[in-house]
Amino acid sequence: MALSFDPELPAGKSTPITYADISMKARVASFSEDRWVWLIFTAKHPDYDFLRNNLIAKFGEPTGRATEDVQNRMAVHFVGELLTWDNGVSSIHLEEYGDDLDSSSLVFALDDYLKQQKPLSKSSPMCRVVVP
């Protein structure tokens, strides 16, 4: 996957990008010692099934599966799927509901970097990142 980022991009703005022909927004790109360690993208929630199917076709069945209970402002509950592919060096995390019910999150991370970070959510097997 080739990525490019605009160095002039103002803080809080996202960079449009595609993954598996789906338009996504790059939310976080973290680098350490001149290598990427953490990439977070968001996509529209209706694209979740396509992303999930594409990742399964490319990387096989997930190595981890979990669910997450989320609710909207009307207190209606939804169950979201959390999928993980981990090869021992890097991992991919697909979260059905991202920052809100209208988006999904796709995270690429180096496992060593994840082990150094404090978990942001004890209920989730993956770190939950909320970007304002």
Per residue in 67-83, pLDDT (tens digit) is 988 888 888 888 999 99
Q: Which residue has the higher pLDDT, 89 or 3?
A: 89
Burial 29-61 (b: 16+ CB within 10 A, else e): eeeeeeeebbbbbbbebebbeebbebbeeeeee
Q: Tell me phi and psi for residue 110, to 5 degrees.
A: -85, 130
Among 39, 58, 29, 23, CA closest to 108: 39
Q: In which region does residue 63 sit, left (phi positive, over 0), alpha (psi from -120 to 50) or beta (all else)?
A: alpha
Which pTM was predicted? 0.73
Structure confidence at residue 119 (pLDDT):
57
Q: Enter the DSSP assignment of 86.
A: E
